[in-house]
Structure 1
Amino acid sequence: MAWGGLFLSWSRPSPEQQKACISSAGGFNYPSDFHCATSNPKLQTDEKHKALTSNGFSINRARILLGSGPETFRLAKSALLSWRHFALGWAMVDPETPVKKETRFCVCVKELVPWLMMPLEIAYVTSTVKRPAKGSFSFGSGTLQGHLLAGEERFSVEWDEDNKVWYEIVSFSKPADILSVIGYPYVLLRQKYFAQQSTQAMVKFVNSQKLESGRS
């Protein structure tokens, strides 16, 4: 059901409900000048950062070390491609969602009693195998009409020149409507909680896969 422009469900959203949410969503709900802004590794230090903050966006970042070497990087990339970073119980994305530019999907989040479905679209996908990083993979998704927030979020894994593999989340957001404004302090807390849970989920997945490989 839709309420106040938001997509809600009293139970875990079914694939049909998620498809209905996506089909009902409009285009990106944040300025085109900021589309793909999270693809810039220097987002937090350049002029784009100043432009975002002056336009009311909050910028968030979380980063964690997953391990080292090519096997860790391979596992981390596979985790992003299968949406393991969203396999949190209280938050989810259909794991069959292809990580390709222009793919639309729903982030489903359980808030108190109802589930909230928030539509997004993958704005870009990048993959590199050149120095100074030994390898990196990332994708960024932008919020659509019907999302609680307006903004963009990037998920990335990087195998750096020191042989370390990192998982990082970078996002910018602001309230999309008056309802979001009222609850924004709570939303910011939930964003930080998600970042904490998502980073731990990635560590757990990579480590569990290494253990499985060791047993085989």
Structure 2
Amino acid sequence: MILLRKPAPDRVHAYLAAQQREPCSYNFCGVTRDIPNVETPAGFVFDHRRVVIGTGDAAWHAARAAIESWVMFGNGWTELYAPIGAPRVGNVVGMLVRIGGCWWLNPCRVLYEIDEIQPVRRCGFGYGTLNDHAESGEERFLIEQDEMGQVWYDLAAFSRPRNPLARLFNPWVRHIQRRFGRESVVAMVDFVSRIAN
């Protein structure tokens, strides 16, 4: 949804409630769960960032708390509207961002959760775009602790422009996507270093 003015929170929540039954805007829901063992769907671009954000159990617990409180969205130029608490399957969330003088409200649905302890500890979730989103695709937010104790933040996404304006300004949209990826890493590193130390 594109708006000329920033919407009031009650309007955003009403909009997201109305999105509960909307389908995903693509037909491969859940595929990001299996990255790196899947191919990029035809017509989509693949973005992937994987960085060490800490070491040891304190870093693991801090990273888990970060994922469960949506810390990766705390960049100052986007606002996330999500139910209180950790991401849960079926949650409809909205990312509000100001681009080019307009406010874009992009709805997504949490499609799956990851909470594993074998063979390595893993925690995260994936969400997919709904029909009103400017893009079409899916994104996975994951933390892993390897056998050496290193804690990794792994952000992976498939996307393509859906809205005509997103297609027209695709180079800028791609810039915004890469910026979000970089800044989500910074938010995770900052949170983990503050909490774990």
Shared fold (TM-score, shorter chain, > 0.5): yes
Q: 1:90 to 1:121 in 2, by over 3 A?
A: same
Of 187, 204, 208, which aligns to 2:173? 187
The normalised TM-score by structure 2 is 0.91
Please identify, of 178-187 and 168-177, the stretch whose mean Cα deviation from structure 2 is larger. 178-187
Any residues of structure 2 matched to 1:130-209 within 5 Å, and which?
130-131=118-119, 133=120, 135-209=121-195
Residue 49 of structure 1: aligned partner? 39
CA distance in 2, matches of 1:97, 1:77: 13
Structure 2 gaps, min length 5: none
Residues 1:36 and 2:26 are matched in the alignment: no
Any residues of structure 2 matched to 1:107-122 within 5 Å, and which?
107-122=95-110
Render the CA deviation track for 1:31-89: whole Å, top value 9, x for unaligned: 1xx1100000324xxxx415x0xx20000001221111111111101111111110111
CA distance in 2, matches of 1:15, 1:161: 43
CA distance in 2, matches of 1:155, 1:78: 13
Render the CA deviation track for 1:75-109: whole Å, top value 9, x for unaligned: 10111111111011101213625411011010111
Counterpart secondary structure, 1:117 = strand
The normalised TM-score by structure 1 is 0.84
CA distance in 1, matches of 2:70, 2:8: 17
In the TM superposition, what is the alpha-carbon distance from 1:27 to its structure 2 partner?
1.5
Please identify, of 144-153 and 87-96, the stretch whose mean Cα deviation from structure 2 is larger. 87-96
Residues 1:27 and 2:23 are matched in the alignment: yes
What is the letter of the counterpart of residue 183 of structure 2? Q
CA distance in 1, matches of 2:96, 2:164: 21
Counterpart secondary structure, 2:169 = helix
CA distance in 2, matches of 1:106, 1:128: 27
Q: 1:78 to 1:49 in 2, by over 3 A?
A: same
Counterpart secondary structure, 1:195 = helix
Of 3, 10, 25, which aligns to 1:8? 3
Larger radius of gyration between Structure 1 and Structure 2: 1
Residues 1:127 and 2:122 are matched in the alignment: no
Residue 80 of structure 2: aligned partner? 93
Render the CA deviation track for 1:162-204: whole Å, top value 9, x for unaligned: 2100101100001113222111111111111110011001101
Render the CA deviation track for 1:95-130: whole Å, top value 9, x for unaligned: 625411011010111224332110000000011001
The structure in which a higher percent of residues are helix is 1
Q: Aligned-pair RMSD on alpha carbons?
A: 1.6
Aligned residues between the structures? 194
Deviation >3 Å, runs of 4+: none
